[in-house]
């Protein structure tokens, strides 16, 4: 007997459950609140609620600067003493437990046991494949990776990754939901370690480490080269489109025909560094020099302030295009 396809909740999502209320879960909660959604939260730690509300307050202040402050009134964020109570009544669930596979598998199994079968369950994991996360679930077809980029309340990207058992309809429902609330989702249709954006970030950092290890340039100059060079372009277009523009009137085809061999020659010289003691020492010393005494909190505040300015500029460009 064939099973009827499930119509997963998407456009009708009004309430989201946040399971795990650390920095990632708290930032997710703030973003969902800012989009007019009700949030039901749970964390097993004794100080979970106090920690969550502090993170939410700070993240909502950022969103207010961005022009996306909370559209909901007091009481929209509800905290519960049990996972079951938090999941009850939720139209979508976002899991944000620490990156320990056994913990996530068990937690997703608990969520799966109590959430209605048409509710998609997303994991914020940055490393584990959806297929592994589904191991303890009776309804693995509705489990997806919904991986944000840090900080989740500001960075629009969400990677929606299917596992071996995931229904395409569940991935599509998650995609439509995140798109509707102002995120920039992407579909990852074949599992890979680190999903999509982290793989590309890792590739760049590998070469950045190689350059420092080989004495080609300092940590600070590597970072300056990215900040004041390709990083500016990457905020506007991705690598394929930028190389298309780099081909002149002939676009990407002209670039590949004329400069493809030079690109392959560069690829052949890229390094494969090891994070051995000597390399780690160079990186630690170089980052300390670049930080110049500024605390992590001060550096994070600077990052978020400048990111808000960039996002405002990109939003202005979108309005002009529209």
For 197-291, which CATH class?
A: mainly alpha
Domain boundaries, the chain: 15-193, 197-291
CATH number of 15-193: 3.40.50.720
Q: Which residues, in sequence order, are bridge partners of residue 144? A: 122
Q: Which two tokens stand for residue 282?
A: 């160079």
Instruction: Output the pLDDT for position 70.
Output: 56
The answer to whether residues 52 and 26 touch, using CB atoms and an 8 Å cutoff, is yes
The answer to whether residues 124 and 24 touch, using CB atoms and an 8 Å cutoff, is yes
* Sequence-distant contacts of 206-210: CB under 8 A, at least 24 apart: 206/270, 206/271, 206/272, 206/273, 207/270, 207/271, 209/271, 209/273, 209/275, 209/279, 209/283, 210/270, 210/271, 210/272, 210/273
Instruction: Output the pLDDT for position 73.
Output: 47
Residues of the chain with pLDDT under 50: 1-2, 73-74
Buried b (16+ CB within 10 A) or exposed e, 131-152: bebbbbbebbbbbbbbbbbebb
Each residue of 274-313: pLDDT tens digit? 999 999 999 999 999 999 999 999 999 999 999 999 999 9
What Å distances lie between residue 118 and 15, 77, 188, 255, CA to CA? 14, 23, 21, 47
Instruction: Output the pLDDT for position 302.
Output: 95
Q: Phi and psi at residue 121, in whole multiples of 5°? A: -115, 120
Pairing of strands 120-123, 15-19: unpaired
Nearest to 301 by CA among 69, 58, 31: 58
DSSP state of 79: E
Query: Using only C-alpha atoms, what is the Rg of the chain?
Result: 22
Instruction: Output the pLDDT for position 5.
Output: 82
Please tell me if the domain spanning 15-193 has the same topology as the one spanning 197-291: no
Instruction: Output the pLDDT for position 232.
Output: 93
CA distance 119 to 107: 16
Location of structure tokens 């999903």: 195
Q: Which residues contact 45 (CB under 8 A, 6 or more apart)?
A: 51
Q: Where are the alpha helices (DSSP H) in 67-100?
A: 83-87
Instruction: Output the pLDDT for position 74.
Output: 42
């Amino acid at each position: 007997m064939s099973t009827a396809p499930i119509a997963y909740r998407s456009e009708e999502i009004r309430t989201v459950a946040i399971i795990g209320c650390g920095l990632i879960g708290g930032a997710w909660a703030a973003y969902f609140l800012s989009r007019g959604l009700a949030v039901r939260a749970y964390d097993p730690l004794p100080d979970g609620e106090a920690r969550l509300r502090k993170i939410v307050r700070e993240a909502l202040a950022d969103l207010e600067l961005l022009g996306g402050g909370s559209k909901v009134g007091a009481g929209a964020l509800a905290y519960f003493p049990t996972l079951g109570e938090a999941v009850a009544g939720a139209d979508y669930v976002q899991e944000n437990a620490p990156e320990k596979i056994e913990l996530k598998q068990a937690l997703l199994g608990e969520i799966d046991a109590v959430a209605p079968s048409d509710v998609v369950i997303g994991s914020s994991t940055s490393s584990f494949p959806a297929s592994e996360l589904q191991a303890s679930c009776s309804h693995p077809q509705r489990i997806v990776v919904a991986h944000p980029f840090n900080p989740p309340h500001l960075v629009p990207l969400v990677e929606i990754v299917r596992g071996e058992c995931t229904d395409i309809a569940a991935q599509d429902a998650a995609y439509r939901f995140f798109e509707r609330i102002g995120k920039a989702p992407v579909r990852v249709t074949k599992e890979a370690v680190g999903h999509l954006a982290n793989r590309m970030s890792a590739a760049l950092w590998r070469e950045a480490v190689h350059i420092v290890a080989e004495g080609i340039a300092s940590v600070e100059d590597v970072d300056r080269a990215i900040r004041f060079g390709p990083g500016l372009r990457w905020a506007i277009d991705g690598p394929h489109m930028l190389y298309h523009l780099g081909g002149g009137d002939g676009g990407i085809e002209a670039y590949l025909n004329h400069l493809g061999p030079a690109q392959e020659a560069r690829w052949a010289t890229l390094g494969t560094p090891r994070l051995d003691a000597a390399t780690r020492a160079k990186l630690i010393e170089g980052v300390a020099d670049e930080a110049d005494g500024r605390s992590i909190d001060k550096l994070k505040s600077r990052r978020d302030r400048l990111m808000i300015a960039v996002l405002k500029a990109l939003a202005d460009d979108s309005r002009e295009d529209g």
